[in-house]
Amino acid sequence: MSVDPLLQLLSQKARYSHKEIADILQLDEKLVSEKVAAWEKDATILGYHAVIDHEQAGCTRVGAFIEVKLTPERGGGFDRLAMRIARFEQVEACYLTSGGYDLMVTVEGSSLREVARFVSEKLSTIDGVLSTATHFRLKAYKEHGFLFEQEEPEGRLVVSP
């Protein structure tokens, strides 16, 4: 099943007014308002956010991606442990993944030390967490479908002997 065009449009730009959405999708404005209200009520739409270029905004927060290997629980698999990890305030996102690890967790902190402390004192001490591998975010090029525009050099670089 494909994503409803209205949801797709909201995920691309949540600041569209209901009238703008109705015009773009050729729908009745009242219908758009009712659908959005229903999705907010039933938690189909969980929230709205701006995509921020943290470097441009002067933000010095440190981001990291943490691979987590877990021991699945009998009768519950990974769900209980994943939800426990997701509830930490440092955790921005938590995904069940395929491949060499079970969860991909994204975290933010005020420093490398704060992120390391979270991993060593909170995350890795949870029963069922077998191992972690932390990768620090150095630079963002694209996030939530938005490119962080970088000036590209014009033409080829000059090569001199």
For each of the domains in the chain, give its residue range(s) and CATH number, in order of start.
5-41 (1.10.10), 62-138 (3.30.70.920)
**What's the CA angle centered on 137, arms 99 and 65, to 5 degrees?**
35
Mean pLDDT of the region 138-142: 90
So what's the pLDDT on residue 131?
Answer: 97
Please name the residue that has the structure tokens 């009238």.
19
Amino acid of residue 29? E
Question: Comparing 66 with 77, which gets the higher pLDDT?
Answer: 66
Residue 18 near residue 32, CB atoms below 8 Å = yes
Entry pTM: 0.78
Task: Give the Cβ contact number of residue 39 at 10 Å.
Answer: 16
Structure tokens at 63: 């981001």
pLDDT tens readout for residues 28-66: 999 999 999 999 999 999 888 888 888 888 888 899 999
Check whether 106 has a pLDDT greater than 80: yes
- Strand pairing of 146-147 and 129-136? unpaired
Model confidence at 1: pLDDT above 80: no
Query: Greatest CA span in the chain, whole angstroms?
Result: 69
The confidence score (pLDDT) of residue 60 equals 86
Please give the mean pLDDT across all residues of the chain: 89
Residue 133 has pLDDT above 80, yes or no: yes
pLDDT band with cut points at 50, 70 and 90 for residue 152: low
pLDDT of 101 above 90? yes
pLDDT for 125: 96
pLDDT surpassing 90 at residue 10: no
